[in-house]
């Protein structure tokens, strides 16, 4: 599709959306705006955007699609600004924020003016931030929530989905409230748990410095998301306060329950507590691409430079992890390539993941 797409906020998500739109609509012009000049410069030089604009208003007035990809409190600010700008009559405005109720509420003046605002949340991402971490494939196979209100015409929702088809995500319609309730329990609250575990370990560290040296395996897995962007998470907690307060209460009750089992030395209840959690966790749907994978594949985002493959295979060889297949599945121009390594067993795949993460900064993922 032809047209101008303004992406405001050129970070992990804005950059990834920009790349995904461009890969499906090479005729479109991707205009970028960010409060940080450095992010705009980087986005331009990485080819994430076609051009940068000096102000949000400047880009917004000439856009056919506007994607707000800034922390959620900033999204509210940009929506207020949009309500006073002379926008193109057919413009579609969307956002990518992790919360929806307050954002959709803030968009009401726009909706009342007849502007098609459709709240959005691609439910995939990472603890990394910034445009250098952006990937066109970030949302592949992920759920992408849209929260159109009754003010929005069906044809505009279809038009937005068409613009976003390069994300290769699965679109799901929810009400803003339903979204915030679900995102609260599966995404927002776990970030507090991760951060609180890190705080707890830090307090113990003051008593014994071995704590951080020995913190590995499960602790690192469960606390990965504590490395996320604090500004972004602060804003999410401000927005989804009511849901989160309820989750705190329920979590405290949950902790009291399991604490009692432990205090009583009730081995049967403790066993069932873990067993039930394992059954539910193991039964969660795994979103694979296509058929059930016959190999244990590990994907590694590698920079496109000579010698990168031998670097990785070298680390794996040192730990005697055998690879059954190796393939570059996609090379994104000038940015990153995806290396797919196949292993014979899940154990090998997990060892390889840990080995690559320990020796490099390349992101690994299992689909």
Ligand X SMILES: O=C(O)C(=O)Cc1ccc(O)cc1
Distance CA 330, CA 353 (A): 20
φ, ψ at 146 (rounded to 5°)? -120, 140
* 93, 174, 225, 341: which one binds ligand X (CB under 6 A): 225
Task: Give me the least distance between CB of 185 and ligand X, in Å please.
Answer: 13
Q: In the sheet where 143-147 sits, what is the strand order?
A: 51-52, 29-33, 4-8, 65-68, 92-95, 116-122, 143-147, 170-173
* 20, 31, 39, 179: which one binds ligand NAI (CB under 6 A): 39
187 binds, among ligand X, ligand NAI, none (CB under 5 to 8 A by kind): ligand X
| Nearest C-alpha neighbor of 75 from the set 105, 42, 30, 32 | 105
227 sits near ligand NAI (criterion: CB under 6 A): no
Structure tokens at 271: 């066993």
364 sits near ligand X (criterion: CB under 6 A): no
- Alpha-helical segments (H) within 175-240: 176-183, 189-207, 210-214, 217-223, 230-239
Task: Give me the least distance between CB of 103 and ligand NAI, in Å please.
Answer: 9
125 sits near ligand NAI (criterion: CB under 6 A): yes
What length does the chain have? 367
Stretch in the footprint of ligand X (CB under 6 A) among 119-127, 211-219, 282-290, 340-348: 119-127
3 binds, among ligand X, ligand NAI, none (CB under 5 to 8 A by kind): none
* 39, 75, 98, 223: which one binds ligand X (CB under 6 A): 98
What string of DSSP letters covers 49-94? -SEE-SSHHHHHHT-SEEEE-S-HHHHHHHHHHHTTS---TT-EEE
187 sits near ligand X (criterion: CB under 6 A): yes
Stretch in the footprint of ligand X (CB under 6 A) among 22-30, 124-132, 328-336, 354-362: 124-132
164 sits near ligand NAI (criterion: CB under 6 A): no
Cα end-to-end span (Å), the chain: 30
Residues that bind ligand X (CB under 6 A): 98, 123-127, 187, 225
Residues of this chain that bind ligand NAI (CB under 6 A): 8-14, 33-36, 39, 69-72, 74, 77, 96-98, 121-122, 125-126, 129-130, 229, 232, 236
């Amino acid at each position: 599709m032809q047209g101008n797409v303004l992406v405001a906020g050129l970070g992990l998500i804005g950059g990834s959306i920009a790349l995904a739109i461009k890969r499906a609509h090479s005729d479109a012009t991707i205009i970028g705006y960010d409060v940080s000049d450095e992010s705009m410069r980087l986005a331009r030089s990485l080819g994430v955007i076609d051009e940068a604009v000096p102000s949000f208003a400047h880009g917004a007035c000439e856009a056919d699609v506007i994607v707000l990809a800034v922390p959620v409190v900033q999204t509210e600010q940009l929506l207020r600004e949009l309500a006073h700008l002379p926008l193109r009559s057919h413009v579609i405005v969307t956002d990518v924020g992790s919360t929806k109720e307050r954002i959709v509420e803030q968009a009401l003046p726009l909706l009342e003016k007849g502007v098609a605002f459709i709240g959005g949340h691609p439910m995939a991402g990472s603890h990394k931030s910034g445009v250098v971490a952006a990937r066109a494939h970030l949302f592949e196979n992920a759920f992408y929530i849209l929260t159109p209100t009754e003010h929005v015409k069906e044809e505009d929702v279809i038009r937005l989905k068409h613009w976003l088809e390069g994300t290769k995500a699965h679109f799901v319609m929810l009400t803003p409230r339903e979204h915030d309730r679900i995102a609260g329990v599966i995404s927002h609250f776990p970030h507090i748990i991760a951060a609180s575990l890190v705080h707890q370990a830090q307090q113990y560290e003051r008593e014994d410095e071995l704590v951080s040296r020995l913190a590995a395996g499960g602790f690192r897995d469960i606390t990965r998301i504590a490395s996320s962007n604090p500004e972004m998470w602060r804003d999410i907690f401000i927005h989804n306060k009511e849901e989160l307060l309820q989750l705190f209460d329920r979590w405290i009750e949950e902790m009291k329950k399991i604490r009692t089992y432990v205090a009583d030395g009730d081995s049967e209840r403790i066993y069932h507590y873990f067993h039930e959690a394992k059954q539910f966790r193991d039964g969660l749907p795994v979103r694979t691409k296509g058929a059930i994978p016959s190999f244990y594949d590990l994907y590694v985002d590698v920079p496109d430079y000579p010698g990168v493959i031998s670097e990785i295979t070298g680390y794996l060889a040192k730990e005697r992890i055998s690879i059954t297949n190796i393939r570059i599945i996609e090379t994104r121009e000038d940015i990153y390539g995806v290396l797919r390594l196949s292993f014979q067993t899940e154990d090998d795949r997990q060892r390889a993941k840990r080995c690559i993460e320990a020796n490099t900064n390349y992101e690994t993922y299992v689909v």
